[in-house]
Chains A and B, each alone.
Chain A
């Protein structure tokens, strides 16, 4: 398919023929993908197809079995844990369930990466934490513990933590899953706001099509460990591929419905 209107020329993140398997299960099977700066790339695909696995390769939480991954033309899949640190500091990761440290309150969670990096006084850190919590609309909740927050609030705090270091890239792992439509839309708006105001490059993994169409500059569909479609929201809507159409319209095929006949 034709590539979307590309504002920027060179990709900020590049997957080249990446393979990954877990035991007998092939998850990524020769995946090639470009993520462009200042754009939001949305990766869609059925559950368990390896979307989160793809994200985890970008921050080195997983390493490919074969293939190459580049960040700003620097090959990163071969970097050691220590050498990866400077890259990780430039990338924010929003985990599916937030992954807030539940032994710390909201304030300490957001302050964590700042304190970790050092070089900032506690009053500077306080200002940044307040600012980031205000961005996600969670000001005033500094002293709450993660267990006392709702799912949506937890994701917003996690997002505040992900942007605390002013990353160039934010990886969103199913940012709207498990939220009601209104709260999901708040997260969508946040993703758009971060892109527009802070020029953050986003990679969003989701199977929420409403969210995908809203935030995406580029949508890629992952199927059987490979990309089967790539384009803007409109291009994807008019894509002739049956797998894409069934996915974006949420239609199960006769094969998948067969199981129901056994009831």
Chain B
């Protein structure tokens, strides 16, 4: 038997006598892998976009509704609990400081704007990345490992159209809806603590809530949540489709899916926050920023 093996990059790097070469090789391998991964993800997303534009078809539309129920409706309780407690804790932490300088009445403003612009969308997205993204990666990864995705292809059913498009559409449609729930319960949580526990009166709470927030803030939150929905769905499906072999592969894909989408959600949030604040200044140059 003649040996046809080509040394792998990690074998080349195992040469302690030439550390510089090893470092360069490592860097090269890492760079190539990263570029390949980005390219691969790009191709994947292109195919998703292709099927969304071509129309997912009646069957995929039905699958999309099933996914919307699975990921959306069934996530409502957990999203509401998260939102409610965040609103409440926000009130608890801010009340003493506001009270000290005599502006406890303005508590409503800071709570509502924080929840609507930042905490609501972000926490809902993180919650969904864990609950829904993890489940989607695990499901698709298991399908990959047990050759169900290959089986789809042999039956002339495009796996991206059949499996990915309904899931991403469901994420994009349901994340803003869930964010609305989270926002509403978050505001109520803050209100319950501020008014019920700390003794802020109802009228100033809601008055400042209204003054401090406008439609722009609410829309920014919702537009962000749409972006987060795309991130969650796309990364969860991609990681599931590129899952390694066996139970370990599925486990690793799930972890990577959550960690990657969590990080990208935070980065996207930052970029959108900067962008929307700049847009605000361009649209209304004479208006003061929100709080």
User: Interface size (B, Cβ < 8 Å)?
Assistant: 19
Set A23, A59, A102: member contacting B154, Cβ < 8 A: A59
B residues sitting closer than 8 Å to A (CB atoms) are 1, 4-8, 59, 143, 146-148, 150-151, 153-158
Contacts from A to B (Cβ < 8 Å): 23-26, 29, 56, 59-61, 81, 84-85, 88-89, 91-93, 95-97, 99-102, 112-113, 115-117, 224
The prevalent SS among residues of A at the interface is mixed
What would 8 A/B residue contacts be, using CB atoms closer than 8 Å? Answer: A61-B154, A91-B154, A97-B147, A99-B147, A101-B151, A113-B155, A116-B156, A224-B1
A88, B148: Cβ atoms closer than 8 Å: no
**Do the beta carbons of A99 and B146 come within 8 Å of each other?**
yes
| Contact between A99 and B151, CB atoms less than 8 A apart | yes
Task: A95-B151, A116-B156 are known; give 19 further A-B pairs, CB within 8 A.
Answer: A29-B4, A61-B150, A61-B153, A61-B154, A81-B153, A85-B156, A88-B153, A91-B154, A92-B154, A93-B151, A99-B146, A101-B143, A101-B151, A112-B155, A113-B156, A115-B59, A116-B155, A116-B157, A224-B1
Q: In the complex, what's the smallest C-beta–C-beta distance from A58 to chain B, in angstroms?
A: 10
Q: Which residues of B contact A26 (CB under 8 A)?
A: 4
Which chain A residues border B157 with CB–CB below 8 Å?
A: 112, 116
The 6 closest A-B pairs by CB, nearest first: A99-B151, A99-B147, A85-B156, A93-B154, A113-B155, A95-B147
Q: Given that A26-B4, A97-B147, A224-B1 are contacting pairs, would A88 and B154 also be in contact in the complex, using a CB cutoff of 8 Å?
A: yes
Residues of B within 8 A of A102 (CB): 146, 148
* A24 / chain B contacts, CB cutoff of 8 Å: 5-8
A25 to B146 alpha-carbon distance, docked (Å):
22
Contacts of A91 in B (CB 8 A): 154
Known contacts: A24-B8, A99-B147, A99-B148. The answer to whether A89 contacts B156 by CB under 8 A is yes
- Pick from B4, B8, B146: contact of A97, CB under 8 Å: B146
Q: Which of B148, B154, B156 contacts A101 (CB 8 A)?
A: B148
Q: Which residues of A contact B150 (CB under 8 A)?
A: 56, 61, 93, 95, 99
Query: Which A residues lie within 8 Å of B148 (CB)?
Result: 99-102
Chain A residue numbers with a CB within 8 Å of B154 are 59, 61, 88, 91-93
In the assembled complex, which residues on chain A have CB atoms less than 8 Å from the CB atom of B151? 93, 95, 99, 101
Question: Which residues in A have their C-beta under 8 angstroms from that of B155?
Answer: 88, 112-113, 116
